[in-house]
Amino acid sequence: MKPIIPIVASLALATTPTLAKDLINADAASRTGLQGYDPVAFFTDAKPAKGNPAITAESDGVTYFFASEKHKEAFMKSPQKYLPAYGGYCAYGVSVNRLFPVEIDTWEIVDGRLILQYDQATKRKFAKDKTANLKKADGYWPGLVESKGQ
């Protein structure tokens, strides 16, 4: 990554709240997760879809928007299936024990998990060894939750 990216990411995180119970990347004012995108659509429609602010559900103090009632119902039956990995933070960042915000267009489903990245360049870097990077991220995530989620 370019030297400026960690600085910009740190500044962005300063304005991105986290919740004490879990470490979740959510909007400060509205406590909206996934930037208002429907978490179920990534899995069922194979693309990001903006959620409807009139169709919502809450999980761990974060509100998620859905494109349809059907998507909301699926989420309510099994929220953990649809929530983004690593609280919606950049998976590559977590793999290096850091928290970075994400761009929605960097999404992919890996081993049944919604994975997001900081940007397309970071997504390519992560893809060079997904298995190792996921293993590292899974190892660092509990410590990040403990240290940053307080």
pLDDT of residue 19: 36
Domain boundaries, the chain: 1-25+84-150, 26-79
pLDDT of residue 29: 83
Specify the pTM: 0.83
Contacts of range 25-30, beta carbons closer than 8 Å, 24 or more positions apart: 25/84, 25/87, 25/88, 25/89, 25/101, 25/102, 26/62, 26/88, 30/63
Q: Which residues of 50-64 are buried (b: 16+ CB within 10 A; e: fewer)?
A: ebbeebebebeebbb
**pLDDT tens sequence for the chain (150 residues):** 444 444 444 434 433 333 334 689 988 888 999 999 999 999 999 999 999 999 999 999 999 999 999 999 999 999 999 999 999 999 999 999 999 999 999 999 999 999 999 999 999 999 999 999 999 999 999 999 999 864
